[in-house]
Amino acid sequence: MFYQVLKYVLLGPLLRLVFRPRIEGLEHVPEEGAAIIAGNHLSFADHFVMPAIVPRRVTFLAKAEYFTGPGLKGRLTAAFFRGVGQIPVDRSGGRASRAAISSGLAVLRKGRLLGIYPEGTRSHDGRLYKGRTGVASMAIRAGVPVVPCAMIGTFEAQPTGRRLPRVMRITIRFGAPLEFSRYAGMADDRFALRAVTDEIMYAILTLSGQEYVDVYAGEAKAAAQDRARAKGRRGPGNGDQGPPA
């Protein structure tokens, strides 16, 4: 009930007013049955804008930090994400990654739409980064199509660190569903997982027109932060001629 009220009464109308989203390819999202919507991740607003315009309910795998914040703000944030049906995911890898895949498969087994960001975290500079293979594992194991999705303009509207979004028009573009039945039974083959993931990321890239970087977003973000700290220790004017992150 909270999800419906939020989508159609509270948050949905507000998001349409602020972003005036231009929707392309919505017919590619199946009207029924399980499927994965895999998108690029540019802004905190992505969690809400895309689900607000998809007629069906979309359950996202959301980072566990949204559910474990301290104080009143942390409790309110956790309550909000639980209220809209999002699932906390530990991104530390290993056993946590397997648990995340199990959570996603549980959603798909119920015939629902699962939303996921294969990059694993928001892009810090607007570029598209290498996809992690969890999306491929779920697509192969569940035997469901993957609908690529591109958010265009949300980085400019609300980049990382900006509290309130700018009022501007964005585009949400869906591509034709990708199916991977030819990989049935290969969910534990790392080469198959990488091939499927790369195909999904290429479809997202084609839709978004972003520059692609063949490293993981988390690693690129950490490297950018290290460079910024090093530059701060050297002080201005002491030379940092490396390329921008």
The sign one gets for the Cα dihedral 69, 73, 75, 76 is negative
- Which residue intervals of the chain are DSSP H helices? 2-5, 11-19, 46-53, 71-83, 95-109, 134-142, 154-157, 190-208, 217-234
The ranges assigned to domains in the chain are 2-234
pLDDT tens digits, 45-75: 888 888 888 999 999 887 777 777 888 878 8
- Split at pLDDT 50, 70, 90, the class of 197 is very high
In this prediction the pTM is 0.86
pLDDT tens digits, 152-191: 999 999 988 888 889 899 999 999 999 999 999 999 999 9
Instruction: Judge whether 78 and 69 are in contact, CB under 8 Å.
Output: yes
User: For residues 136 and 203, what is the distance between their CA atoms, to the nearest angstrom?
Assistant: 14
Average of pLDDT values for 91-95?
A: 68
**For 1-5, 71-75, 160-164, 201-205, which range has the lowest pLDDT when averaged over its residues?**
1-5
Q: Is 113 exposed, middle or buried (0-12, 13-18, 19+ CB in 10 A)?
A: buried
User: For residues 16 and 103, what is the distance between their CA atoms, to the nearest angstrom?
Assistant: 30
Q: What type of residue is 54?
A: V
Q: Calculate the average pLDDT of the chain.
A: 87
Question: Burial letters for 146-185: b for 16+ Cβ neighbours within 10 Å, e otherwise?
Answer: bbbbbbbbbbebbbeeeeebeeeebbbbbbebbebeebee
- Split at pLDDT 50, 70, 90, the class of 244 is very low
pLDDT at 39 over 50: yes
Look at residue 10 in the predicted model and tell me its pLDDT.
Answer: 64
Three-class DSSP category at 59: strand
Q: Which CATH architecture has domain 2-234?
A: 3-Layer(aba) Sandwich (3.40)
Residues in the chain: 245
pLDDT at 43 over 70: yes
